[in-house]
Amino acid sequence: MRSVSVSFLSLNAWIVLLIAVLAFFVLYPIWLILLNSLYVETPEGMAFGFSIWREAFRQPGMADALINTIKVVATVQLISFPVAIAIAWVLARTDVPFARWIEFGFWASFLLPALATTTGWLLLLDPHYGLINRFLVDVGLFENSPFTLYSFWGIVFAHLVSNSISVKVMLLTPAFRNLNSTLEESSRICGANGYRAVMGIVLPLLTPVLLVTFLMSLIKGLEAFELELVLGAPIDFQVYSTKIYQVLRGSPPDYGTATVLAVAILLLMLPLVIFQQWATNRRSFVTVTGNHRQDAICLGSKRWPVFIVLAVLLSLTTVVPVIFQFAGSIMTLYGFFDLPQVWSLRHWVSAFEDRTFVGAFRNTLVLGSVTTTIGIILFAVIAYCSIHTRRSLRLSLDVLSWLPFMIPGVILGLSYLWFVLEVPVLTPLYGTMGVLVLVSLLAAVTLGVQLIRSAMLQLGADVEEAGRVVGGSWFRTFRSVLLPMISPTVAVVAIMIFAMTVRQVSTIVLLSTGSTTPLSVLQLEFLYGGALGPAAVVGTVVVIISLTAAAALVIIASRFRIGR
Amino acid sequence: MKYPALKLENLSKAFGADYAVQGINLDVEHGETVALLGPSGCGKSTTLRMVAGLEQPTDGAIYCEGKVIASVADNLFCPPEKRNIGMVFQAYALWPHKTAYENVAYPLELRRIKASVVRRKVYESLELVGLAGLEDRPVPRLSGGQQQRVALARALVYEPSILLLDEPFSNLDTKLRTQLRLELKELQKKIKLTTLFVTHDQVEALSVADRVVIMNSGRVEQIDAPGNVYEKSRTRFVRDFLGKVITLEATVKELPGPGKLRLAVDDCAGTQMISASCRSGSCGVGDRMEIAIRPEEVRVGGVDQDLRGGNVVEGRIEALLYVGSCFESKIRIGKESVFLDIPRSINWKEQQPIFIQLPESSITLWPLEKSGPPSAPDGCRQSSEMVG
């Protein structure tokens, strides 16, 4: 693509500068943890060696933490993937009622914080006072509570009802929808029943998309932190990320072990990331056929039963936990229905009287809005530069904007802890909102740049060139032509960044201090400390913020027909 | 009793309150090729998809060899895979992750046929459509015409009882279309398979089909042999949809004999009466009629030429375009203008008078309402205009 800048040289010089800055903020922190896991103190001074690694693996529970990590990720993905495929197929290809609304429901579910969902489900599945457990015991089906969220399967369940299924439904539904429906119909005509048509034709055709999604889910699954911390800690079930959190919370904090765990996980991820990149760059079959015709498959009499199954699944990930979290927030004692006064507003009252809560509320809004504002400008610039520069520079930009997506939140947080402490210029940032904004930007950069870039690419160079030809300056053209044309996408991206920032825990948990703690981390601390009532209040507030963002997303997306 | 290969009985499909197809009745005999022809949105594709089992009818029934495959009254719907029907999709719907061979073999594999038999049948089928030697080509690397043939081979390989073709040639360029049309006709002669196909291209329908079903707004206008739908159109829609037609409004002046009429073209001074025969119905002096004739049936002449046989109207050339093989002209006759290709053998000039002979045997008459529709100010009527 041709550049429309005044001269190639000046634009490219700026891009090189941008790449250098990005590289510093993305690569250097990671380099630091790698360095610190190998840099050991010896009697003769600092030297490289493996003593930290040997030391770390001598600790109890290290191997378990790594094995548990793999166990949880594998189990969650193996269950959520087929379920998400089935849901996406039904939503995209059949005449199930209210398909669009259900799809939006899964978007909303994706935006709901995992901690909020878990808090809600705790009221139902807690081993002592969970409503479902108590009901099953009361009616005499079981002698003791059959379910508990504080277990391996409890953690798996919490993942399934929080984001694991919904994010895949979001990614796969458009893929199924874009597949030419006659390819499936022709296999029906040839004699395949519905199931065999999907298995024999649709899934093989979508293999590239499915593979990429699956690998990406595995990589993102390694991010898991807060659910394991809340549900695993009471039974001493550790994954690598909770182990990092634990060793850093000890006194003295064990930075050595934390960095070793982080590097070990990054090494484990490396083949996955390479495989995922290879799969992404392979040619996809789906684009080969033109002339798409979309005819929904008639479910006939199964139409409403299928709808009910979907609605139930969706409500398990949205309505049910949200309602029960709210219910928990207005109970005198979370989960106790036999007190003289079951309901009370005491948690809400004390929350709003509490400086910590009010501060956290303010922190959340500041963090969300500052990250969103800087993010949109920065991501638009990166996207613009990556379109308008030569191949070699574009490649570096793409890699740098994509890499942070692959780094698990806790590791990103850990690396930034080192980063701000070891780079003198940045040290004043420690303990401020500034460092939280920095990592939040990194956590959002991949998605933001991708979305804005594809919107810009769709416009093509000629609208911009036309703006220049009629006599506008570059800045004027950018402002009055380009920006308005991509503004619906920008609005969607802004809302997504905001919602992601508001609900994130793992990236900022190691970096937030007393005065900068946002609501999401506050909820984690309440849950970790067993204060379920206050946790439910905080969670409800975060949900309200997220749902407001989700509602805005739905309105903008349906008005501008994004994603269809 | 011998059943038709395919029978549609009062078949309807409604989407909400809108009818895509409304009460279609059709019998397709064994070995017959029937075309569903009509403008886009007339319901022809929906009809085909109901036969295939890709849409459920909202009323009526479909029978295949006398067996019900869909019946709304009996709440019966046989899914597409159980109908043993072959279908070629408009964009072929070949599976891009399979080779030509694998595409054609797939239906046989679904039927759990022995590998050696599959092999033989696939090769036979590909040879039948002229694709021998390209078995191992991945489908995306075949040309449009070759893909079309693979799609046809895939539809034929399992010997379906009926073959359905959805706009089979619309994705091909004109030259290839003509060639494949001929090939399909040859193939039809060879394998004698009952075929139902959908097209919006009248040349395709008239040249390939044994019978043509003309559809409009979800209803059947006429079912007839190609020659009859063109030459003996039963409705104005069919007449105007197929080919070109010249229409002139006229008034009945004399009734010289039984079934014979003489008419005067409206506002066309100085020309003789037009003789025509009235095929049906009764008409009297003073009735208003529309004279319709196919442009290829008329003869034209200049002032000095003698058009023997009479039935001539006089017009004036309003516009003249030289297009190589002939002139395209706009000719004003009375209040109306008609478009006509006229031979370049005469050195025509704009504004010059022109004489048009309408042979009596080629004229069809269409009664106008007694009051007569008001003509547009410039009286310009395009011959391809659709009148409902």
pLDDT at site A535: 92
Query: How many Å apart are CA B309 and CA B274, to the nearest integer?
Result: 11
Kindly state whether B77 is in contact with chain A, defined as any CB-CB distance less than 8 angstroms: yes
Q: For B260-295, write each residue's pLDDT tens digit.
A: 888 888 877 655 788 888 766 667 888 888 899 999
- Quick check: B95 and A205 CB within 8 A? yes
Neighbours of B287 (CB within 10 A): 20
Kindly state whether B214 is in contact with chain A, defined as any CB-CB distance less than 8 angstroms: no
- 8 A C-beta contact, residue A326 and residue A112: no
- Quick check: B110 and A192 CB within 8 A? yes
Place of tokens 């061979």: B101
- 8 A C-beta contact, residue A112 and residue A221: no
Query: How many Å apart are CA A539 and CA A338, to the nearest integer?
Result: 24
Among residues A457, A447, A459, which one has the least CA distance to residue A493? Answer: A447
**Phi and psi angles of residue B363, each rounded to the nearest 5 degrees, phi first:** -80, 135
pLDDT at site B388: 29
Which residues in chain A are closer than 8 Å to B143, comparing Cβ atoms?
none
Among residues A538, A458, A451, which one has the least CA distance to residue A502? Answer: A538
Place of tokens 């398990």: A316
Query: How many Å apart are CA B266 and CA B276, to the nearest integer?
Result: 16
Kindly state whether B156 is in contact with chain A, defined as any CB-CB distance less than 8 angstroms: no
pLDDT at site B281: 63
pTM > 0.80: yes or no: no
Which residues in chain A are closer than 8 Å to B95, comparing Cβ atoms?
183, 186-187, 201, 204-205
Query: How many Å apart are CA B56 and CA B35, to the nearest integer?
Result: 21
Query: How many Å apart are CA A177 and CA A190, to the nearest integer?
Result: 22
Query: How many Å apart are CA A151 and CA A232, to the nearest integer?
Result: 7
Which residues in chain A are closer than 8 Å to B52, comparing Cβ atoms?
185, 189
Which residues in chain A are closer than 8 Å to B75, comparing Cβ atoms?
none
Mutate to test the interface with A, among B58, B85, B89, B102 (most CBs of A within 10 A): B89
| A332-A335-A341 Cα angle (round to 5) | 35
- Quick check: A191 and B96 CB within 8 A? no
Highest mean pLDDT among B146-150, B174-178, B188-192: B146-150
Q: For B233-255, write each residue's pLDDT tens digit.
A: 889 999 999 988 999 888 888 88
Å from B79 to nearest chain A CA?
Answer: 8
Which residues in chain A are closer than 8 Å to B84, comparing Cβ atoms?
191
pLDDT at residue B304 tops 70: no
Q: For B337-372, write each residue's pLDDT tens digit.
A: 899 999 888 888 889 888 888 888 888 888 886 543
The segments of chain A whose pLDDT lies below 50 read 1-6, 286-292, 563-564
Place of tokens 């054609």: B104
Among residues A221, A206, A208, which one has the least CA distance to residue A272? Answer: A221
Nearest Cα residue in chain B from A194:
B81
b/e for B344-357, b at 16 or more Cβ within 10 A? Answer: eeeebeeeeebbbb
pLDDT at site A9: 56
